[in-house]
């Protein structure tokens, strides 16, 4: 019985370690300005023993400064007793830096502790210091925590170009209890004397009666005065509104662009499944002069505000239904900054170099030469220079193997239909609410034919509706919303797809319009017409692997089939390190997912290693090689699940601590006498057990700014000094 108990305990421990991989739920602030050093707070679970904070891309490094685990009441009481003893020390001892810092830290832990945090998944806190080089390329990065359990899921960390403002991290929010919701509100008493407006942030309760500025409450702090242009970082608490004051001149076209869902795409335990910000602008008299709660179909609001008169204005931001907690994080860019709202054409054929036309605000110019050279098929992201040398937001651009053509107006009826020779991809627009684009094709009886729109997946507001008719106008097939599981960030799959066969020889017409009868220059699309093109996409989930030394790890590989592809897919590691291998694996035509085993001979690694899995298949003599895009399985609003793409698949080899000593009595026969349970030792005060030794200086911290930004995989090459600014581009998963 003793042997069985030991084996069972080891098996249970191993299963628990595999299931409880590190998770991070938020990072605040979720970015920083290049050329600065920022202190950030990361909330997570199963992140004990944080070894490092890994951030992708060049010109950036991070080090762990502090780790504070979630404490129980007994541990908090021990901290209070320790604090009382420290305060009994003579004044000269308390003035010593070590003692002063310890008192400060324990006081903060005790004051911010709550016995019932609203969410356990980010109740453990890591404080890190992030150094961003002055030449670090701006844009999104991937942030992960490396702990004693392995590598965490990625979160977005933005590298910006503008001055940044923000309040200190929010204390833990207490879980709301029915009938006692007020206890979850964090009432912050006013400081005395009142702090400087330049150093504090306002949290106010929204008053009833829209159109007027929020009134004061006991949640208020003083509002934060900012100078434009800038980036504002914040966290929204329950029932609170953050407010900021700025001066503006008449005629300025201010862009107020918020990032919230872009930072944390899905929240598992909140409806609709993400933080939904609402932004409003008020004049000096408190009148609302601008408002926005989304940008087209995206929850993150973008507000363009043309200043009506010189003066002082205020921005207010809050959640649409006044929820809030630590992971309701936002970044809000405010100023005369460039913003691209549309691009045409939205894609091109492989090897083509079309001129692109962009629309938006505060742009340097609206026509650009296509910046991508030798781009592979898939979706790539472009940004463009704006006024003052700032870069715009990124917009998607599709590259396809099929030839493409431009829509030719007017083609709004069968009589005016544009003739096409499939296979082809049409770049077009729905110019107005009444616009219908019609295309003429020749069909053969029994011939398979596919029509697919790419619009919503390219950030177009078009809600496509497609139908095929014969020469007499009789409907042959139609298509509306079609779910593409490869598009893990979309929740309204508004692109249309039809797979059909022509009933007879003759002329057929493909009609495309907006299902909601809207239109405009931003309602762009790519329309694929032709025979089926069987293909597939792969997702490798999760986007991280943790090996024990000289052992194995497993990962799920999902297949997403296109145009009826049903062939076998062989999986392999592409250019792996010599010490890492993958057992032979394949996906049959009836499988949607397989579990793949990888093995390493390494006993440990100092840093995560990037791996790449590919799938190889053959279809009608055509060899298909497709990457397995790393992804995270994320839950939305208690129910829906999405495969959210991640930039890299990272692996680490480590030796976790030995399993706990098994308790033999748990496996004893019922008749056997039960051994007494030993008295547990008195817990050590968390201020001591949580304290980290002074970390060494980061080895990859930039000592001096190099002459040009370091090259990143798939990113743009640095422009030579004095060159004309051109759009930059970076690849994205297909």
Q: How confident is the model at residue 16 (pLDDT cuts 50, 70, 90)?
A: very low
Same structural domain for residues 410 and 498? yes
Same structural domain for residues 604 and 617? yes
Report, as an integer, the average pLDDT of 368-380: 86
87 in a structural domain: no
pLDDT digits 0-9 by tens, 284-306? 999 999 999 999 999 999 999 99
Say how many domains are in the chain: 3
Could you report how far apart the first and last alpha carbons of the chain are, in Å? Answer: 54
Alpha carbons 193 and 197: distance in angstroms, whole number: 12
Asked which of 12-26, 67-81, 262-276 is least confident by mean pLDDT, the reply is 12-26
- The confidence score (pLDDT) of residue 661 equals 60
Q: Tell me which of 307 and 389 has the higher pLDDT.
A: 307
DSSP class of residue 118 equals S
Secondary structure tally for the chain: helices H, strands E: 5, 49
Look at residue 579 and tell me whether its pLDDT is greater than 80.
Answer: yes
Report, as an integer, the average pLDDT of 157-181: 87
The residue whose two tokens read 């961003």 is: 132
Q: How confident is the model at residue 371 (pLDDT cuts 50, 70, 90)?
A: confident
State the CATH number of the domain containing residue 586.
Answer: 2.60.40.60
Look at residue 666 and tell me whether its pLDDT is greater than 80.
Answer: no
Among 654, 689, 716, identify where a domain stops.
654
Phi/psi for 83 (5° steps) reads -65, -40
* Strand segments (E) across 1-72: 23-28, 31-33, 37-45, 52-55, 60-68
Q: 297-330 burial, b if ≥16 CB within 10 A, otherwise e?
A: eebbbbbbbebeeeeebbbbbbbeeebbbbbbbb
- Please state whether the peptide bond connecting residue 411 to the residue before it is cis, i.e. omega within 30 degrees of 0: no
Same structural domain for residues 571 and 631? yes
Question: Sheet of 448-454: strands edge to edge?
Answer: 404-406, 424-429, 524-530, 448-454, 497-501
Same structural domain for residues 414 and 523? yes
Look at residue 7 and tell me whether its pLDDT is greater than 50.
Answer: no
Same structural domain for residues 476 and 564? no
Q: What SS3 class is residue 455? A: coil
- 3-state SS of the chain: helix, strand, coil percent to 5? 10, 40, 50
Class of residue 84 by CB neighbours under 10 A (exposed 0-12, middle 13-18, buried 19+): exposed
Report, as an integer, the average pLDDT of 195-219: 42
Q: Among candidates 622, 458, 470, 592, which has minimal Cα distance to 532?
A: 622
Pair type for strands 155-160 and 139-147: antiparallel
Could you tell me how far CA 52 lies from the centroid of its own chain? 20
Report, as an integer, the average pLDDT of 442-452: 96
627 in a structural domain: yes
Look at residue 152 and tell me whether its pLDDT is greater than 80.
Answer: yes
441 in a structural domain: yes
566 in a structural domain: yes
Alpha carbons 518 and 693: distance in angstroms, whole number: 60
484 in a structural domain: yes
CA quadruple 372, 373, 374, 378: dihedral, nearest 10: 0
Among 654, 671, 706, identify where a domain stops.
654
Same structural domain for residues 367 and 343? yes
Asked which of 257-261, 268-272, 322-326, 701-705 is least confident by mean pLDDT, the reply is 701-705
Look at residue 708 and tell me whether its pLDDT is greater than 90.
Answer: no
Phi/psi for 2 (5° steps) reads -60, -40
Q: Are the C-beta atoms of residues 392 and 360 closer than 8 Å to each other?
A: yes
Q: How confident is the model at residue 435 (pLDDT cuts 50, 70, 90)?
A: very high
Q: What SS3 class is residue 680? A: coil
Q: How confident is the model at residue 667 (pLDDT cuts 50, 70, 90)?
A: very low
Alpha carbons 81 and 604: distance in angstroms, whole number: 40
Report, as an integer, the average pLDDT of 670-681: 42
- Reading the block at residue 27, the tokens are 């990072």
Same structural domain for residues 368 and 460? no
Phi/psi for 514 (5° steps) reads -85, 130
Q: Tell me which of 406 and 732 has the higher pLDDT.
A: 406
Percent of the chain scored above 70 by pLDDT?
81
Same structural domain for residues 528 and 416? yes
Q: Among candidates 258, 329, 231, 264, which has minimal Cα distance to 34?
A: 231
pLDDT digits 0-9 by tens, 460-517? 999 999 999 999 999 999 999 999 999 999 999 999 999 999 999 999 999 999 999 9
State the CATH number of the domain containing residue 453.
Answer: 2.60.120.380
Q: How confident is the model at residue 606 (pLDDT cuts 50, 70, 90)?
A: confident
Q: Are the C-beta atoms of residues 231 and 160 closer than 8 Å to each other?
A: yes
Alpha carbons 490 and 640: distance in angstroms, whole number: 12
Look at residue 63 and tell me whether its pLDDT is greater than 70.
Answer: yes
482 in a structural domain: yes
* Strand segments (E) across 69-138: 124-132
Phi/psi for 557 (5° steps) reads -120, 115
Alpha carbons 433 and 222: distance in angstroms, whole number: 46
Q: Among candidates 576, 597, 586, which has minimal Cα distance to 538?
A: 586
Look at residue 658 and tell me whether its pLDDT is greater than 80.
Answer: no
Q: Among candidates 56, 28, 60, 38, which has minimal Cα distance to 331?
A: 28
540 in a structural domain: yes
The residue whose two tokens read 């106008």 is: 473
- Reading the block at residue 170, the tokens are 């929010």
Which positions ≥6 away from 318 have C-beta within 8 Å?
206, 236, 240, 241, 242, 277, 278
Report, as an integer, the average pLDDT of 402-426: 94
Look at residue 5 and tell me whether its pLDDT is greater than 80.
Answer: no
DSSP class of residue 658 equals P
Q: Tell me which of 524 and 606 has the higher pLDDT.
A: 524
Asked which of 200-214, 417-431, 627-641 is least confident by mean pLDDT, the reply is 200-214
Alpha carbons 342 and 523: distance in angstroms, whole number: 8
Q: How confident is the model at residue 212 (pLDDT cuts 50, 70, 90)?
A: low
Asked which of 128-137, 379-388, 623-632 is least confident by mean pLDDT, the reply is 379-388
* Strand segments (E) across 563-675: 569-573, 580-582, 585-587, 593-600, 609-611, 613-619, 622-636, 640-645, 649-654
The residue whose two tokens read 């701006």 is: 138
- The confidence score (pLDDT) of residue 92 equals 92
Q: 247-272 burial, b if ≥16 CB within 10 A, otherwise e?
A: ebeeeeebbbbbbbbbbbbbbbebeb
Same structural domain for residues 380 and 439? no
- Reading the block at residue 573, the tokens are 């590691």
Q: How confident is the model at residue 53 (pLDDT cuts 50, 70, 90)?
A: very high
Same structural domain for residues 394 and 428? no
Among 532, 553, 586, identify where a domain stops.
532
Q: Tell me which of 495 and 212 has the higher pLDDT.
A: 495
Same structural domain for residues 640 and 551? yes
- The confidence score (pLDDT) of residue 456 equals 96
pLDDT digits 0-9 by tens, 89-107? 999 999 999 999 999 999 9
Q: Are the C-beta atoms of residues 613 and 574 closer than 8 Å to each other?
A: yes
State the pTM of this model: 0.82
Asked which of 48-52, 553-557, 668-672, 709-713 is least confident by mean pLDDT, the reply is 709-713
What is the domain range of residue 578? 536-654
Asked which of 188-192, 381-385, 532-536, 664-668 is least confident by mean pLDDT, the reply is 664-668
- The confidence score (pLDDT) of residue 677 equals 40
Alpha carbons 160 and 165: distance in angstroms, whole number: 12
- The confidence score (pLDDT) of residue 151 equals 95
Look at residue 555 and tell me whether its pLDDT is greater than 50.
Answer: yes
Q: How confident is the model at residue 171 (pLDDT cuts 50, 70, 90)?
A: confident
Look at residue 19 and tell me whether its pLDDT is greater than 50.
Answer: yes
Look at residue 694 and tell me whether its pLDDT is greater than 80.
Answer: no
Q: Are the C-beta atoms of residues 396 and 298 closer than 8 Å to each other?
A: no
Q: Among candidates 55, 48, 53, 28, which has minimal Cα distance to 39?
A: 28
Average pLDDT for the chain: 84
110 in a structural domain: no
Look at residue 573 and tell me whether its pLDDT is greater than 80.
Answer: yes
Q: Among candidates 277, 26, 153, which has minimal Cα distance to 546?
A: 153
pLDDT digits 0-9 by tens, 172-201? 888 877 776 666 666 554 443 333 333 333
Q: Are the C-beta atoms of residues 144 and 156 closer than 8 Å to each other?
A: no
Report, as an integer, the average pLDDT of 359-385: 90
Same structural domain for residues 347 and 372? yes
Report, as an integer, the average pLDDT of 385-401: 91
Tally of CB atoms within 10 A around 19:
8
Angle formed at CA 429 by CA 427 and CA 433, multiple of 5 degrees = 160
């Amino acid at each position: 019985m003793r042997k069985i108990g030991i084996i069972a305990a080891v098996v249970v421990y191993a299963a628990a370690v595999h299931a409880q991989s590190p998770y991070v739920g938020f990072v605040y602030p979720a970015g920083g300005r290049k050329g600065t050093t920022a202190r950030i707070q990361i909330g997570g679970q199963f992140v004990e023993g944080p070894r490092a904070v890994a951030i992708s891309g060049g010109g950036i490094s991070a080090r762990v400064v502090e780790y504070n685990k979630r404490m129980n009441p007994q541990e908090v009481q021990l901290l209070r007793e320790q604090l009382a003893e420290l305060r009994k020390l003579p004044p000269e001892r308390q003035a010593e830096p070590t003692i002063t810092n310890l008192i400060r830290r324990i006081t903060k832990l005790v004051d911010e502790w709550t016995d019932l945090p609203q969410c356990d998944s980010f109740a453990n806190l890591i404080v890190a210091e992030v150094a961003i080089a002055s030449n670090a390329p701006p844009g999104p990065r991937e942030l992960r925590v490396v702990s004693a359990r392995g590598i965490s899921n990625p979160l977005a960390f933005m590298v910006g170009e503008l001055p940044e403002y923000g309040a200190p991290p929010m204390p833990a929010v207490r879980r709301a209890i029915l009938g006692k919701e007020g206890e979850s509100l964090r009432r912050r008493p006013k400081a005395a004397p009142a702090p400087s407006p330049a150093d504090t942030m306002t949290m106010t309760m929204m008053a009833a009666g829209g159109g007027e500025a929020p009134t004061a409450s006991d949640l208020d702090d003083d509002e934060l005065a900012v100078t434009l242009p800038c980036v504002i970082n914040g966290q929204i608490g329950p029932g609170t509104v953050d407010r900021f004051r700025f001066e503006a001149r008449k005629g300025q076209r201010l862009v107020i662009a918020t990032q919230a869902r872009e930072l944390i795409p899905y929240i598992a335990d909140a409806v609709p499944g993400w933080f939904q910000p609402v932004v409003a602008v008020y004049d000096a008299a408190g009148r609302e002069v601008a408002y926005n709660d989304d940008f087209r179909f995206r929850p993150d609001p973008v507000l363009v505000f043309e200043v009506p008169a010189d003066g002082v204005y205020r921005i207010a931001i809050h959640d649409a239904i006044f929820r809030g907690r630590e992971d309701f994080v936002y970044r809000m860019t405010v100023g005369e900054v460039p913003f691209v709202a549309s691009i045409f054409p939205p894609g091109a054929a492989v090897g083509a170099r079309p001129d692109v036309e962009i629309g938006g605000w505060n742009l340097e110019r609206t026509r650009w030469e296509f910046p991508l050279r030798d781009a592979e098929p898939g979706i790539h992201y472009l940004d463009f220079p704006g006024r003052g040398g700032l870069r715009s937001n990124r917009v998607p651009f599709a590259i396809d193997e099929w030839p493409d053509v431009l829509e030719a107006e007017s083609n709004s009826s069968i009589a005016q239909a544009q003739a096409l020779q499939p296979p082809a991809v049409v770049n077009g627009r729905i110019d107005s609410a009444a616009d219908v684009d019609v295309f003429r094709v020749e069909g053969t009886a029994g011939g398979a034919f596919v029509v697919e729109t790419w619009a919503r997946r390219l950030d177009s507001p078009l809600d496509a509706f497609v139908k095929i008719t014969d020469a007499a106008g009789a409907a042959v097939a139609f298509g509306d919303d079609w779910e593409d599981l490869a598009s893990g960030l979309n929740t309204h799959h508004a692109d249309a797809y039809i797979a059909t066969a022509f009933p007879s020889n003759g002329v057929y017409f493909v009609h495309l319009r907006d299902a909601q009868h809207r239109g405009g220059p931003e309602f762009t699309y790519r329309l694929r017409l032709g025979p089926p093109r069987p293909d597939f996409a792969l997702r490798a989930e999760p986007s991280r692997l943790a090996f024990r030394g000289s052992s194995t790890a497993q990962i799920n590989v999902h297949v997403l089939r296109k145009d009826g592809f049903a062939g076998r897919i062989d999986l392999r590691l592409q250019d792996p390190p010599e010490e890492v291998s993958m057992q032979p694996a394949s996906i049959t035509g009836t499988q949607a997912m397989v579990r793949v085993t990888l093995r390493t001979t390494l006993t440990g690694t100092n840093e995560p290693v990037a791996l790449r899995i590919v799938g190889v298949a053959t279809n009608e003599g055509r060899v298909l090689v497709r990457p397995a895009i790393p992804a995270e399985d994320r839950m939305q609003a208690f129910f829906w699940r999405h495969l959210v793409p991640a930039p890299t698949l990272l692996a680490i080899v480590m030796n976790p601590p030995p399993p706990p000593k098994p308790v033999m009595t748990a496996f004893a026969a019922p008749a056997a006498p039960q051994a007494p349970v030993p008295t547990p030792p008195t817990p050590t005060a968390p201020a001591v057990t949580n304290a980290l030794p002074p970390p060494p200086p980061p080895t990859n911290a930039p000592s001096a700014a190099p002459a040009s930004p370091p090259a990143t995989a798939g990113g743009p090459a640095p422009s030579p000094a004095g060159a004309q600014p051109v759009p930059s581009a970076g690849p994205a998963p297909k």
